[in-house]
Amino acid sequence: MSKNNKAPSGLAIWLGLAESSFQKQKTVRFGDASMVTGGRFWSILTLFILAVLWTLSGVYKWTDPIFWPSPGAVAGQFATTATEGYRYFTLWQHTGYSVFRVITGVFFGCLVGIPLGFAMGLSTVLRGLFDPIVEFMRPIPPLALIPLVVLWFGIGEEAKIILLFLTAVFIMTIAARAGVSSVKISKVHAAYSLGATKWQVLRYVILPNALPEIFTGVRTAMGVCWATVIAAELVAANVGIGFMIMCAANFLQSDLVVMGIIIIGVIGFAIEIVMRSMETKLIPWKGKG
């Protein structure tokens, strides 16, 4: 009887090993989404088991090291590449080029896509004119565009940036258009009543209202472009993380390949985290209109 009255520790709840005293009293459990919390204990367990298995597979050579390198080999390769570089470029340069391409592509995608999306959200004629192009191009996987882009623009930096631009621009157009359309008409009416001109309504009401959607678009574009740049580098590059993986695979250097994949994952994750924190800082009113 006394056991039930003690509140579980915050740590136990965070780990997913105990229920809060409120949750314990619930009679309906299966189907209640709020009962399914992080379960971090189990996540940690998974990571631990995977790490152990990986280490053991290296020690006992369960597979040929070419197919799956040991953690030691990957870590060693990381140290080597970080100090000596790979194929005339340092590790920083490889990652830097990839990240730079993404940021540039997204930047130009915003530069063209946001005004275009606004125009489409505000004018029937412009919407009608551009709708077929935008709606047709958006679902096309950027990878399918690579052959054409290479044909027209070669295999230099411009070609990759153009590919990423094409990837980002349609995402941004649709995001901006959605942002403009989501403004509540009472706010627009209020602004005109208060004496705002059309331009002021656009700049001081429609634009801030559209920012959350636009930001979501930037997040999506960054994510998709990160995936695309790796693919683009697999095809035609002489520097970049994707290029590095491709090259290493050709020489059966799977420790380099795995290292590269881990770097790709970590940077992709970091991009998402940075975008999310920027969003909280720049657009605190998201979802509160």
Partner 1 sequence: MTELAVKHVSMRFALPGGDGVQALKDVSFTLTTGELLTVLGPSGCGKTTLLNIIGGFLAPTEGNLTLNDVPIKGPGAERLMVFQDGALFEWLSVEKNISFGPDMRGAPKAETEKVVSDLLKTVGLQGFGDKAVYELSGGMQQRVALARCLANDPKLILMDEPLGALDALTREKMQELILKLWKETGKTILLITHAVEEALFLGERLFVMAPRPGRIVKEYRLPFAERGLEEDPRDIKASSEFIKKREEILSMIWEMEEEIMGRQ
Residues within the interface to partner 1 (CB under 8 A) = 184, 186-187, 189-197, 200, 204-205, 208-209, 211, 283-285, 288-289
**What is the nearest approach in angstroms of partner 1 to the Cβ of residue 114?**
17
- Can you tell me which residue has the tokens 């189907």? 31
Nearer to partner 1, 2 or 186 (CB): 186
Distance in angstroms (rounded) separating the CA atoms of residues 223 and 73? 29
Nearer to partner 1, 132 or 195 (CB): 195
**What is the nearest approach in angstroms of partner 1 to the Cβ of residue 244?**
43
Distance in angstroms (rounded) separating the CA atoms of residues 178 and 214? 8
Cα angle value 149/155/159 (rounded, 5°): 45
Distance in angstroms (rounded) separating the CA atoms of residues 66 and 57? 13
**What is the nearest approach in angstroms of partner 1 to the Cβ of residue 107?**
23
Provide the token pair at 189.
């009416």
User: What ranges in 34-156 are assigned the alpha helix state H?
Assistant: 40-59, 71-84, 91-122, 124-137, 142-153
Nearer to partner 1, 31 or 195 (CB): 195
**What is the nearest approach in angstroms of partner 1 to the Cβ of residue 118?**
17
Nearer to partner 1, 35 or 190 (CB): 190
Provide the token pair at 136.
């047709």
Nearer to partner 1, 136 or 204 (CB): 204
**What is the nearest approach in angstroms of partner 1 to the Cβ of residue 285?**
4
Asked whether the beta carbons of 144 and 168 are under 8 A apart, the reply is: no
Provide the token pair at 216.
């979501």
